Structure 1
Amino acid sequence: MTNTDINITTTTTNSNETELLNKNDNNSNNNIINLQFLINKHFELCTKTIENYQLLHKENIANNERQFQQILNCLNATKNPESCEDVPLSEFNSLWATSTFKQPCLACHYFGHLIKNCVNLQEKIEDSCLRCFSKEHQVAQCNQKEQSSFIFKKNYKPQSYFKS
């Protein structure tokens, strides 16, 4: 090739490159605009999601604080038992783990509450012995002298005492 041929091919390549660059610049500008639009949309979605999560978290905290305050009122209501009427027993028991109470309630033999929180205290206490948890006799007829710390006695049937 001669020098003129090389120059011609070079100029041809340069003109094609400039055309491609111009097209690519337009495409890249469009791509940049599209990318910015997508980033803005994604940012808006993320901020909305974060705001929704924060609102839900605040509502959950408010509900938990309200339930905790009701339980505290119930526990401190030894002088005024009417203040704990707004807390249902099932809600009260669900918030406290049953492992908190090592022994069942002496009145109804269910785990999850103590005798002072039992709903059917007067009805159930007449039916069972407080020493051996037997429903066959009362405390006056019980042969056992002291109540041992082990709750599963010979007359104690856990399957009949757990709520199903």
Structure 2
Amino acid sequence: MADTTATNTGASCMDKLKSYAKTQKGFILAAEIILSLIVLICYAASRYGGYTAVAIIEMVFAIIFFGVFMMEIDKQFQLVNWVWSDLFRAGIGAVIYLITSLICVIGGRGDGALIAGGVFGLITGLVFAYDTYTIFLQIKNTRQHTAASTDDRV
């Protein structure tokens, strides 16, 4: 899943961070982290701070997966299927962000911070949905199809 071009084992953590953030997956995860932080700030500044849990949880999971893929732990720790775990994380994040953001935008009259958090939450939900789509395409492309035998002899 970690699509780094150079696997340099002696590279420092900052070098790995810079090189992974330049990949497509790294850029998407970094965008999810930054947008979740913006949504968290907006929700925390509003009168109703109950929606901050969504932003905190999704930001923490995005940071964890960013770290796992950046440090290539997914290749070392094969017990967990990281691609499917990432698909579920991104899919659930997209659904939760879209639902809570619509609630905040529709019912947030008089609270500008809540409406701003809802708008940024909708954008973040779309980024999570795009991440889900790219992961799904990756799973679809890596699936091996074996041809059925047409031999009549058994």
TM-score range, shorter chain: under 0.3
TM-score by length of 1: 0.26
Higher relative contact order (CA 8 A, sep 6+): 2
TM-score by length of 2: 0.27
Q: Name the structure where helix makes up a greater proportion of residues.
A: 2
